Structure 1
Amino acid sequence: MTDSSDFVVVGAGLAGAATAWQLAARGHSVTILERDVPATSSGSSHGSARIFRYAYPDTFYTRAVVESKTLWDELERSSAQQLITQTGAVDYGAGRQPELLAGILAGAGVDHEILGADEARSRWPSIAFDTPVLWHPGAGVIDAETSVRAMVDLAVGLGAELRIGWTVTGVEREGAAYRLLSDTGASVVAGNVVVAAGGWLPDLLGRLPLPEGFLAGVPEITVRQEQAFHFRYRDDGPWPTFIHKAADMQVYGLPGGRDADFSGQKVAEFNGGKALPSAARQDGVIDPANRRRVADYVRRYLPGLDPEPYAETTCLFTNTPDEEFFLDRADGLTVISPCSGHGAKFAPLIGHWAADLATGSADLPPRFRQATSRFNGR
């Protein structure tokens, strides 16, 4: 069976769903191919708890969050669903440089405060702050799974077709178009292809008809099986999201939402999981050493939590070496990997960027187009 479409989007996680929504909204015929189901639990976009924050040590990304929030607001209105719950965020630790972050937020017009450690402890006695603290109240928690489904539903409502259980095994040139092959023998022909395969991208890259020079310029993509633990609240005090760069580890936390019965804080070590060749090699097994490490952190820095985790999970981070997003295009093939553990908050904007790139309606900053820059010798 063969069908044709203007655009095929491979992958229905946050990035793929957002791209399909944006393309369909511009009047293009779109087919979404998902190896499992949208926001599958084996991918990077499942669950109800991802951090939405403005604090970045890079002005570009802070301003991009401001732009992204406008699109999140549009998505919430269009889907009639609340997708971001405002909790505020605290950033602290010498390595987090809260004063630097505050200067960047000020330049972007984002509401914030710098608090001394004692003042911060009086506001949030459940957290043992060890440095001055940046507080920005506009931060919150993204319901990733509901967001994916909202964007897919909007795309389908605009005429896109969703095919689940459709594993792409290869892509071939066919004249000016592309034929996508599946493990069942079915195929789809499209004038343009957007690959948003997340942790499966390392497996798929070599099966795409991309120029050798372009492929050589793609940044190294590393997949990590991350681990997150839920710790029960000891009190009903306010719990913001947080990022803490301690001397020996970087930890983040946020209200766990329905992922763990709204009963506790989700806490994890950033990039604390094992490296994998691709998502296909994940095993879902928690590393006991990492569990002990995070529990020890909770005992030391989060007195408002029971230090024994009552729930735990694994998920995937797909990283570039400098945690920069990768969105690039050669001919009619667009490849996006905007992950590196911080892509969720940008999802609707990533869809907008990817649609611009795939349609040729606008170019993206060279920082995203690393393969093209290297291929062209810039």
Structure 2
Amino acid sequence: MESSKYVVVGAGLMGAATAWHLAAGGQEVTLLERDVPAGAFGSSHGSARIFRYAYPNDTYARLVQEAAPVWSQLERESDRALMQRVGAIDFGAERDPRGLAAVLSRVGVEHTLIEHEDARTRWPQYAVDTDVLWQPTAGVVDAEGAVDSMVTLAEKAGAQILTGWDVAEVSTASTTGYVLRSTDGRDIHAAEVVIAAGGWLPHILPSLPLPGGFVDALPHFEVRQEQTFHFPYAQLLDDAEWPTMIHMLRDGGVKKAIYALPGGRNGEHRGLKVALHNGGKVLSSAAQQDGQVDPANRQWVTEYVRKFIPGVVPEPYNEATCLFTNTPTEDFVLERVDGITIVSACSGHGAKFGPLIGLLAAGVATQNGAVPDEFRVPR
């Protein structure tokens, strides 16, 4: 039977980052992935995710500050550009730009509040409807590129990468540690297990030998099949001229959040990626996904674009589904119990923290690091 001191399950952003930091720290690591790293059935595929500092609480704004140098480290060590600092704008009465600005002032993040009319003049490609919070050092990160880079660095540091390894169950070993068994009957022994399975977490959770009290204390994990659309730039603009955007408004009395960002490689560098946050159907786990775009969602997003993003042609030329795994508070989960570490349900806003979450997770798994209280599971 194969063995490894640490076995990390899931080679998306969080699992790849955890394997990278564990291996770089001299640990014996095996990274298991049911498909391929950043595969299409997870949450980390694609070339564009928003990197922003604007949060309504200090904890996450400070964490973005901590994440930025880890992204720089990843770019440096992989010799690969993974972040494009196009800036970010936040607006809408429900988004509360002034409240967000107060948080950024407290934690020391560069930002500017720009009045409504001045913002419309500065960014005519967006039809902003309130004053705007501008974050010049925000931008876009390449999720799939980051996974590829971290897997490569983990392997260079001695980690073993096993793809096509679908975990069926995890059982307690007769001596110490755990045995992980794949759906095709392979086994691997681990002294410590890290579960970074994203939308597959609800699927794998019942197979983990966790104390009942711990399982009961975990938050409810809601998996959604989200939809994203690329709209072509109407003018001779390129990705670099489009700041990322978060707009919150009320539609029919319901609060909705829309985000947009340069589409990058997956958008052929010629269009804006736009999506309605948590606009997809709820799944029991990633295993239930069908990859089908809801026509009603497409229509709603297209009509939104027609009204609020005049800088693009309101006809999507590309669309895709992805997975969000939400907790009720949208806080992440980072906790170890009896040699099993559960890493993060990222609630649709985790990508920007990926390399940092891996560093924190490695600290939790080795019992050498601390994480914010919000990430802990009550005992």
1:162 paired with 2:124, answer no
Which residue does 2:375 correspond to in 1?
368
Structure 1: 4+ residue segments shifted above 3 A? none
Distance of 2:80 and 2:369 partners within structure 1? 30
SS at match of 1:95: coil
Residue 196 of structure 2 is matched in structure 1 by 196
Is the CA contact (8 Å cut-off) linking 2:54 and 2:104 kept in structure 1?
yes
Quick one: distance in 1 between partners of 2:109 and 2:148?
29
Counterpart for residue 235 of structure 2? 235
Structure 1 counterpart of 2:27: 28
**Structure 1 partner of 2:125:** 126
User: In the TM superposition, what whole-angstrom CA distance separates every residue of 1:96-123 from its partner, at most 9, and x where no partner exists?
Assistant: 1101111111122211110111100111
Partner of 2:298: 291
Deviation string 1:4-32 (CA, Å, 9 cap, x unpaired) is 11100000000000000010011000000
Contact 1:65 1:345 in 2 (8 A): yes
Task: State the percentage of identical aligned residues.
Answer: 55
Partners of 1:38 and 1:6 lie apart in 2 by 21
SS of the residue 1:247 aligns to = strand
Summarize the alignment of residues 294-373 of structure 1 with structure 2, pairs less than 5 Å apart.
294-370=301-377, 373=378
TM-score, normalising length: structure 1: 0.97
1:10-21 alignment runs, 5 A limit: 10-21=9-20
With 107-116 and 63-72 compared, the bigger mean Cα shift is at 107-116
C-alpha deviations, 1:243-268, integer Å up to 9, x for none? 00012221000000111211100000
SS at match of 1:225: strand
Deviation for aligned residue 1:287: 0.6
* Structure-1 separation of matches of 2:132 and 2:236: 21
Matched, 1:41 2:44: no
Aligned residue in 2 for 1:244? 247
For residues 52-201 of structure 1, the aligned pairs below 5 Å read: 52-174=51-173, 175-201=175-201
2-structure distance, mates of 1:328, 1:281 = 26
Offset, 1:184: 1.4
Partner of 2:206: 206
The CA deviation at 1:366 is 2.5
Q: Which amino acid aligns with 1:267?
A: V
Task: Note the C-alpha offset of 1:367.
Answer: 1.4
Q: TM-score, normalised by structure 2?
A: 0.97
**SS class of match (1:162):** strand
Q: What is the distance in 1 between the residues matched to 2:149 and 2:265?
A: 17
Give the superposition deviation at 1:363: 3.1
State the SS of the aligned residue for 2:193: strand
Q: Quote the Cα distance in structure 2 between the aligned partners of 1:95 and 1:287.
A: 25
Question: Does structure 2 conserve the Cα–Cα contact (< 8 Å) formed by 1:52 and 1:140?
Answer: yes
Residue 234 of structure 2 aligns with an amino acid whose one-letter code is R
Cα separation, 1, equivalents of 2:127 and 2:358: 38
Give the conservation status (yes or no) of the 8 Å contact 1:15–1:338: no
Conservation of the 8 A alpha-carbon contact between 1:338 and 1:350: no
Deviation of 1:365 (Å): 2.7
Structure 2, unaligned runs of 5 or more: none
Instruction: Give, in whole Å, the separation in 2 of the partners of 1:305 and 1:366.
Output: 42
- Partners of 2:293 and 2:170 in 1: how far apart? 35
- Matched to 1:318, the amino acid is T
Instruction: Work out the CA distance in 2 between the residues paired with 1:294 and 1:91.
Output: 18
CA RMSD for the aligned pairs?
Answer: 0.8
Q: Matched residues in 1 for 2:191 and 2:145: separation?
A: 30
SS of the residue corresponding to residue 371 of structure 2 reads: coil
Equivalent residue letter for 1:10:
V
- d(CA) in 1 for partners of 2:71, 2:290: 33
Gaps of 5+ in 1: none
State the SS of the aligned residue for 1:253.
strand
Preserved contact between residue 115 and residue 133 of structure 1 (Cα < 8 Å): yes
Cα distance in 1 for residues equivalent to 2:372 and 2:349: 18
- Distance in 2, Cα, partners of 1:363 & 1:303: 46
Q: C-alpha distance in 2, partners of 1:313/1:246?
A: 24
Q: Tell me how far 1:182 sits from its aligned partner.
A: 0.5
SS in 1 for 2:375: coil
> Partners in 2 of 1:208 and 1:359 — Cα distance?
19
Alpha-carbon deviation of 1:337? 2.1
1:266 correspondence with 2:265: no
Aligned length: 371
Q: CA deviation at 1:338?
A: 3.6
Contact 2:221 2:345 in 1 (8 A): no
Once the two structures are superposed, what CA deviation does each residue of 1:284-337 show, in whole Å capped at 9, x if it has no partner?
111111111000100110111111111111000011011110111111000112
CA shift at 1:236, angstroms? 3.0
What is the distance in 1 between the residues matched to 2:236 and 2:353? 30
1:224 aligns with 2:231: no
| SS of the residue 1:94 aligns to | coil
**Aligned to 1:206, what secondary structure does the other structure show?**
helix
CA contact (8 A) 1:113 1:136 kept: yes
